[in-house]
A and B are shown apart, each in its own frame.
Chain A
Amino acid sequence: MKKIIVCVITVCLMLSLAACGSGNQKAPENAGGTAQQNTQQHHETAGADAAQSEKTGDTSNADKKVLVVYFAYSENMGDTSGMEVDAITSASLNQHTDNELGNLQIMAQEAAAVKNGDLFSIQITDPYDPDYGKMVGVAQEDQRNGKQFTFVEAIENFDDYDVVYIGVPVWWSKLPQPMVSFFEHYDFSGKTLVPFGIHLGSRFGSMIGQMKELEPDAVFLDGFTIRADTDNERVKVEFDAFLETVD
């Protein structure tokens, strides 16, 4: 009997040790969790970047019309104006960096500036909870159930664009469910797609395959991924280098 008790205690101790191991990890994050401070700041920076593009603008493919679309969780969490900034960033990957902006926004602005493209932020009519902890489970359920999303705004003159840069957070190695609805809503046949994404280890996962299934008649160029918790400055440098390779 004594031995059984000792045995049970040993196993319990080991279990508690194992729990420690997983207990001191940082808050569960997924690749989509780059919450930012606020969107106002984003627009200011976008303006600054647009001004810069007039100087550095690439004119080599002026004949091609470029669109840059991206889907960021931070711009799909409804009205956060009443919230403390910390309430948003506490769940953010940015707590480990000095980042002021989400890396998707950084890249989207950069692509629009360098490639003379129009910038479009995908926003869903039914936004996610600003509380990252709550949002994670919901986002995963959406993927499982194949939830349908609708969008706040439509892209104007979508048919006119030849090249579309498309920025997405990789969620559990897949497209966020709103992006599936997005691809079902817009027909990318004949267009060239350049994916860029942020992740937490999975890189694109099976996302590219998923996109190709949704848009079988689009041309896909090799995309660019970077870890979501990379510093803004480094993302800019590396993404610029990538953009140079895209004709």
Chain B
Amino acid sequence: MEGRSSHRKSINYLVDVLMVLFLPMLAAYSLIGERFHEIVGTTMFLLFLTHLFLHRKWLGSVFKGRYTPYRACLTGVNMILLVLMFLQPLSGITVSKHLYTFLPLTGLASQAREIHMTLAYWCYVMMSFHLGLHMDQMVSIADRKLKTGTAVKRIVSLALWAASAYGIYAFIHRGFPDYMFQRTLFAFFDYDEPMLAFFTDYLAIMILFAAIGYYTGRLLKKK
């Protein structure tokens, strides 16, 4: 029983790590190639379905028990993500240029493209926030492991704070608000910029919203 549970946990962990890695890759869209984007996107959806399956108990208990502020927040975020994560593949397949061209979906391509693009940035923010809400366990594990070296701990936390601060700049600089509120309907990709710069910025944005999620979670749990 114990063995099975730890086995399940490691699959769980692997799925989550892969999803975190895939998210910035998806955001890079044409920088990494449109066909590759579609492959990664498809894999992401399969990972999401696995994630849902592994947490089916959570889904089943949504209407049970008492709602604390933290649980209400988590459930709200997860429900939004649930919708987004089904809308993304649907809209994506509609505008597909490579993998799903055999499907006769062309009429709504223009609207689907806008939905896909706008929701992509919402997904990015919400998934990072969702990650942050669940960061508690990870932080406490890290806390225990880094017990001995307080200097290491300090450096790590300082680095995360710095990354979050930079994330604010990257969030604005990369045009997230414009994309999220449809002021910009066509994404800009700089093909001359080193890929590393792109991923650094997007990682910082992820850390920023994970941090916001983490502290929101802590705040709600206190009450």
Contact surface of A with B, Cβ cutoff 8 Å: 3, 6-7, 10-11, 14-15, 18, 21-22, 25, 28-31, 136-137, 140-141, 144, 170, 172-173, 199-203, 205-206, 208-209
Contact = CB atoms under 8 A, between A and B. Distances in A.
Contacts of B82: 11
Nearest to B63: A3
Given A144-B97, A202-B187, A205-B189, A22 B79 contact: no
Contacts of B115: 22
Contacts of A206: 30, 189, 191
Contacts of B1: none
21 contacts: A6-B63, A7-B62, A11-B79, A11-B82, A14-B79, A18-B84, A22-B114, A22-B115, A25-B114, A28-B111, A29-B185, A30-B185, A30-B186, A137-B107, A200-B184, A201-B185, A201-B188, A202-B186, A206-B30, A208-B191, A209-B191
Nearest to B80: A14
Given A10-B79, A29-B185, A201-B184, A22 B118 contact: yes
Contacts of A25: 114, 182, 185
Which of the four size classes fits the interface of chain B? 20 to 34
A31 B186 contact: yes
A172 B189 CA distance: 12
Given A202-B186, A202-B188, A206-B30, A140 B109 contact: yes
A3 B84 CA distance: 22
B10 interface: no
A205 B29 CA distance: 12
